[in-house]
Amino acid sequence: MTRALYTAATGMQAQQLKIDVIANNLANVNTDGFKKSRATFQDLVYQTLTTAQPDAGTGTVNGIQVGLGSRPQSTARDFREGSLRNTGNQLDLAITGEGFMQVRLPSGEVAYTRNGALSLDAEGRLRTQQGYLLEPEVVVPPEVGDLSISPEGVVSVRTEADNEIIELGQLELVTTVNKSAFEGIGENLYRLEGDSRDLLIGTPGTEGFGRLQQGFLEGSNVQVVEEMIAMISGQRAYEANSRVIRTSDEMMQETNRLR
Amino acid sequence: MASGIYVATSGAVARQNQLEIVANNLANVDTDGFREQQVSFQEVLVDEVDAPNRRMVALGRTYGSQRQGSLKTTNNPRDLAIEGTGHFVVGTESGQQLTRALTLQLSPRGDLQDAFGRRVFGETGPIILDDLESVRVDRRGQLVRDGEVLDRIRTVDVANPSGLQPTGLGLQQPTQESGGPFLVEAQVVAGALESSNVNALESMVQLVQLQREYQTLSRAISSYREAEEGLIEAARS
């Protein structure tokens, strides 16, 4: 019966993790570019109480195996696209389709994001709201007119003086064969775990890469109803496991009352 | 001593073991591809000097329920489930094992693997691909790229699936009772995973029932003892 106690505890821990993940999803229901996660579980090892042995009456019989509970397997991220929202801001970019924008962290490391709420730094360079510079760098000269970013990632401005269009640079997107290698590091950023050879860098709008949508932002892909249902089922499973602990405890009390 | 006390004790011990199995089922109510473990009781005849053919009870065997778990869509085209009978095959250190839920990934060397880095088998052997993103898995489990079939994910079944032995981490192993695996065409669903087939309600009922039975048997054990004490008292007076 003590085995049942620990088994139920693993079940409760698993459900606790599930609720933790749901809580984070719900907390980010309004975070632009956020991708929800989902906790998955697996069964633990099995203990064999009696091994299978041939029985003259019933043919071969299976042994008795007792499993020792469950444990978290992974928190898989769901990279489905969130809905686009019109902001009208010329420095807001949404990616429709595959791809991430590359930013350079102060540490020199490269990170990836789907949140295209951009701004300019003092030197006119395009950067994210957190201040990380876009890679490759695009510099917007001061005192120019409307900035336009084409679906193919070409950044251009129309000069106010002679109404001429000047191309300032080309934005790039990054995808990878194995998106599960993207590890969230907060601030809507992902880091690539493992081999960077798997990365594909390309121009927006070409095959395999999404297009850019100026004046839009990609909303969070969290569906509140879905999360609420998962939360209810998680809570019920938690209760069921705690009920096992109580049953186990009561049976042990029963044993102690024997005289 | 009356032999009944041993019989009652054997029943109580069997209920303790049953509790452990129900606990494991409830702990895995959210484990994809998990098969609920069911248990049967059996009568055991024990021959002892003072009591030939004493009937005791013990757990007979555990077997996996073959009820289909509900398919839940994950929107990840590399999550695979099977509708109806059949199993996927993955390679482990202890040989090929079967699983009902598969998430494909590609190793840096191009080997097709499940989420734990175990090899996924095709028609003839391990599958090697240069790119997974452009590959679609169809209803028959075929890996299709631009209309061209590259390979088919191996699906097998056994004569008696409830005889499969769970080994943890979502895997099951063929045994003498299940029979050896043979190739079948299974209905593969991409973008979905099979939920655990544990019925929480049924498990809760089992839990209540086995606890009550345990109480009854405990009472029985106590009663035998009290009766014996009464007998001793009577003999003294």
- Closest-CA residue of chain B to A236: B200
**Global model pTM greater than 0.90:** no
pLDDT for the residue numbered A197: 65
Q: Provide the shortest C-alpha distance from residue B179 to chain A (in Å).
A: 11
3 state SS of A224: helix
pLDDT for the residue numbered B94: 83
pLDDT for the residue numbered B71: 92
Which residue in the set A52, A234, A244 is minimally distant from B177, CB to CB? A52
Greater confidence, A2 or A236?
A236
* Gap between the Cα atoms of B191 and B208, Å rounded: 37
Q: Is A87 exposed, middle or buried (0-12, 13-18, 19+ CB in 10 A)?
A: middle
| Chain A interface mutation, best of B5, B10, B31, highest count of A Cβ atoms under 10 Å | B31
| Chain B interface mutation, best of A35, A40, A78, A193, highest count of B Cβ atoms under 10 Å | A40
CB distance A193 to A187 below 8 Å: no
Q: Is there a contact between B22 and A244 if contact means CB atoms under 8 Å apart?
A: yes
pLDDT for the residue numbered A86: 92
Q: Is there a contact between A61 and B76 if contact means CB atoms under 8 Å apart?
A: no
Mean per-residue pLDDT for B26-52? Answer: 83
Cβ-Cβ contacts under 8 Å between A and B: the total is 177
Greater confidence, B60 or B184?
B184
- Which residues from chain A sit within 8 angstroms of residue B76, using beta carbons? 76, 78
Q: Is there a contact between B20 and A8 if contact means CB atoms under 8 Å apart?
A: no
Residue A160: how many CB atoms within 10 A of its CB? 11
Residue whose structure tokens are 């032995």: B165
- Which residues from chain A sit within 8 angstroms of residue B204, using beta carbons? 240, 243
Q: Where are the alpha helices (DSSP H) in chain A?
A: 2-27, 224-257
Length of chain B: 237
- Closest-CA residue of chain B to A248: B19
Residue B96: how many CB atoms within 10 A of its CB? 17
- Maximal C-alpha separation, chain A: 102
Which residue in the set B106, B163, B207 is minimally distant from A62, CB to CB? B163
Which residue in the set B26, B175, B211 is minimally distant from A241, CB to CB? B26
pLDDT for the residue numbered B86: 93
Average pLDDT of the residues of chain A = 86
Q: pLDDT tens, B137-175?
A: 999 999 999 889 999 999 999 999 988 888 888 899 998
Q: Is there a contact between B26 and A11 if contact means CB atoms under 8 Å apart?
A: yes
* Gap between the Cα atoms of A147 and A118, Å rounded: 12
Residues A191-200 as b or e (16 or more Cβ within 10 Å = b)? ebeeeeebbb
Q: pLDDT tens, A171-227?
A: 999 988 777 778 888 888 998 876 666 788 889 988 889 999 999 999 999 999 999
Q: Is there a contact between B24 and A178 if contact means CB atoms under 8 Å apart?
A: no
Q: Is there a contact between B61 and A62 if contact means CB atoms under 8 Å apart?
A: yes
ipTM score of the complex? Answer: 0.74
Mean per-residue pLDDT for A47-63? Answer: 62
Instruction: For residue A136, say if its preceding peptide bond is cis, omega within 30 degrees of 0.
Output: yes
The residue among B60, B61, B83 whose CA lies nearest residue B71 is B83
Query: What are B39's strand-pairing partners?
Result: B62
A55 has a pLDDT exceeding 60: no
- Under the banding of pLDDT at 50, 70 and 90, the label for residue A60 is very low
Q: What's B49's DSSP letter?
A: S
Which residue in the set B19, B39, B108 is minimally distant from A248, CB to CB? B19
B198 has a pLDDT exceeding 90: yes
Residue whose structure tokens are 């939920």: B195
pLDDT for the residue numbered B124: 85
Residues B21-49 as b or e (16 or more Cβ within 10 Å = b)? bbbbbbbbbbbbbbbbbbbeeeeeeeeee
pLDDT for the residue numbered A217: 93
Q: Provide the shortest C-alpha distance from residue B15 to chain A (in Å).
A: 9
Mean per-residue pLDDT for B85-112? Answer: 89
